[in-house]
Chains A and B, each alone.
Chain A
Amino acid sequence: MISSKLRQKWAVTLLAWSVALLLAFPVFWIVLTGFKTETEAISRVPHFFFHPTLENYQAVGERANYFHFAWNSIVVSLGSTFLALLLAIPCSYAMAFFPTKRTKDTLLWMLSTKMMPSVGVLVPIYLIFRDTGLLDTKTGLLAIDAMLNLPIIIWMLYTFFKEVPREVLEAARMDGAGPLRELYDLLLPLSMPGIASTSLLAIILAWNEAFWSLTLTAAKAAPLTAFIASFSSPEGLFYAKLSAASTMAIAPILLLGWASQKQLVRGLTFGAVK
C-alpha cells in the first residue's frame, strides 16, 4: 500500500520534472550559450559540456551602448510604474471605499480600454509623438507604458484595498481623519504588500513591453526589448553575444517575476482568480 503510493509519487515527480525541464530548456539554453565561444554556439552538434568563457559578457559590456539601453529600460519601467501608481492609488481608494452606483461600470470600462488593440491607435499616437517631439524619448514611452498598465494597476489596488476592513477606516473617520489622512496614515501602510506586488507586476510588464518600444523609439530612447530586436538581422557570428545580452536583459525580471508569482495571477486576471 505504502510502496504503491510512493511509486505513484515518483511517477508524478518524473513526469512533472520532464515537463518543467522541457519548458525551461530554451531559457537554460540562452544562459548556457552566453558562456560559450561563438564557434561552439553555432555548432551543428550542440555542446553541453564546454569550457565556460566570460568573453561574451565582456564584449557586451564593452559596447557601452548596452548600458545605455539598460538605463532606458530602468527609467521607463520604474518611471511608468511610479506615474501609474500616482494616478491609480487615489482612484482605487475612492472606488473601493466610496463606491457609487457607477463604480462597477467604471471598472469595467477601464478593463475595456485594455481591449483596444494598440495597433488600432498606432497611427495617431505615432503622429502625435512626431509632432510633439516625443518620438524616441524616454518620457513618451514612459507615458504610454503608464497608460497601458493603469487599468491593471487600478484593478489590482482596488482588490487589495477591498480587503482592508472597512471598519478600520471608519474608526479613523470617527477619529477625525479626512479622506487624505485615511489614505496616507492607514490605507497605504496597511496595503503595502499589495502595492509592492502591484508595482512589481507593472515593472515586469513595462520592462517586457515590445510593441510601442519598437515603433516609437530608436537609438536614443530604445529600451532593451528594442535593443535585442536589433540582433534580428544577423551579421557574422553572434549567438553567444546575443545570449549574453539576453541573459542580462531577462535575469532581473526573471527574479522579480518569481518573487511575485502569487500576485501575478491575481493582477493579470483582474482579481478574478486569487
Chain B
Amino acid sequence: MATVQLKQVRKSYDGFEVIKGVDLTIRDQELTVFVGPSGCGKSTLLRLIAGLEEITSGDLLIDHQRANDVAPAKRGLAIVFQSYALYPHMNVADNMSFSLKLAGIPKPERDKKVMEAARILNLETFLDRKPKALSGGQRQRVAIGRAIVRDPKVFLFDEPLSNLDAALRVRMRLELTKLHRQLRATMIYVTHDQVEAMTMADRIVVLQAGIIEQVGSPMDLYRYPRNIFVAGFIGSPKMNFMEASIAQVLQGGSVVVALANGATLSVPAVDGMAGAGDKVTVGIRPEHISLASSDGISAQVQTVEHLGSESYLHLNIASGELLTVRINGETTVVPDQQVQLKMEPRSLHLFNKEGSTMRSLPTSTA
C-alpha cells in the first residue's frame, strides 16, 4: 500500500513561485495523471515528490511519513524520464540492475529481477545491448524496466511518451495501462496531452500556473468541468464558448440565457447565484451539437474537415462567433451552406464572469 500526500506544498526558484500551494492525495494503486499546459509546473511537482527538488514550504507525506528531508533513493520511488536518461555506457541488463547493485543485493537475485522485468517488457533478447543500439520504444521500455526492478512504492513518469512517434505512443499507452493493472502499483504520470490523461488515468489532476484547477476521474472532468480552463483543456476538439447574458431565472434553478445573436437557450440546474442580466459564458462540446432540419440556431458553414469516421464543421453564428460541430463522417454539408443547430440543454455548461461553473455539480470531485 502506498499513498502520497501533499499539504500546502510550495516551490519557488529565486523567489519566483512555480508551485503555489498544492493540496493533493495520491491514492493507493491508482494511476494519477498530472495534466496541464507546458510550463504549468507538472514536472516540478513530480520532482518535488521524487526528491530531486527541494520543497520550499509545505509537507510531503509518503505512506503517512513526512518525507521532505528523505534522500531521493530512500523514498522508495522510481522515476521514468522523458529523455529516458539511460546510462549510455551500460548495457540493458546493467542499466536495470544498477540500483540493485548499489543496494548491495547479491548477483543471483539481481539477475532474477532483471529477467523478470525483461519478460514483462519483452526485452529478453536485448539485455546485452547498449542503449545506443535500441529503438525509441525499446529505450522507453528499458527505462520502465529500471523502475520495475526496484519494486517501488510509487512509479513516477514524466512525459514518458513524448519522444515517440504517434503510432508507438498509442501502443505504449496501452502497454502502460496494462502494466499498471498487472503490477497493481501506484503511479503518477505527467503529460501535457489531455488524450493521454483521459485514456490512462484513474484520476486526473489538472494544473495551471502552479495551481490545481480540478481533480477527478476522466469522465467527471469531462462532464463537470469546474471552470472554463478545465472545460477547454479536457476534450477534443475543444469545447465551444459563446458570450451570453442571463435573460430569466426560472423556478427550480434553471435559467434562460440570451446569446449575442439573440437566440435563447435554457440551462438546467444552475446554482442559486444567478441573477438576470449577468454576463455569462455558455459552453458546449462539438459532439453535443447536432444539425436540425429547422428551428435551431442558424449558422453558416465555413469549412468541413472529413476524418472519415466523423467530420468537423466550423461554422459562424450570427454573433460572429466560431463554433465547431462534430457530425458523422458521411455528411454532405458543404462550405457556405446555411444550417440549423440544435443544442441539448443538458449538455450546456454555464460559466460566470470569473470563469467558474454555475452548474450545480452532482458529486464532489475533489
Contact = CB atoms under 8 A, between A and B. Distances in A.
Partners in one complex: yes
Interface of A: 101, 165, 167-168, 170-177, 181, 185-186, 189-190
Interface residues of B, number: 22
Interface in B6-48: 14
Nearest to B143: A171
B113 to A, nearest CB: 13
B83 A165 contact: yes
Interface string B66-107: 000000110001110111011111000000001100110000
B79 A174 contact: yes
Interface of B: 14, 50, 52, 72-73, 77-79, 81-83, 85-89, 98-99, 102-103, 146, 150
B87 A172 contact: yes
B83 A174 contact: no
B87 A174 contact: no
Nearest to A175: B99
Given A174-B50, A177-B98, 5 more contacts: A167-B85, A168-B87, A170-B72, A176-B99, A181-B102
A88 to B, nearest CB: 22
Nearest to A170: B52
A13 to B, nearest CB: 39
Given A173-B52, A176-B103, A165 B73 contact: no
A174 B78 contact: yes
Nearest to A169: B85
A188 B154 CA distance: 30
A189 B89 contact: yes
Contacts of A170: 52, 72, 79, 81, 85
Given A170-B52, A189-B89, A175 B146 contact: yes
A177 B88 CA distance: 16
A173 B88 contact: no
A170 B85 CA distance: 8
22 contacts: A101-B14, A165-B83, A167-B81, A168-B85, A168-B86, A168-B88, A170-B72, A170-B79, A170-B81, A171-B81, A171-B87, A173-B72, A174-B52, A174-B77, A174-B79, A174-B99, A175-B73, A175-B99, A176-B103, A177-B73, A189-B89, A190-B89
Contact of B102 (A176, A189, A190): A176
A174 B82 CA distance: 15
A189 B89 CA distance: 7
Given A167-B81, A171-B79, A177 B87 contact: no
Chain B CB within 10 A, most for which of A167, A181, A190: A167
Contacts of A189: 89
A176 B50 CA distance: 12
B102 A165 contact: no
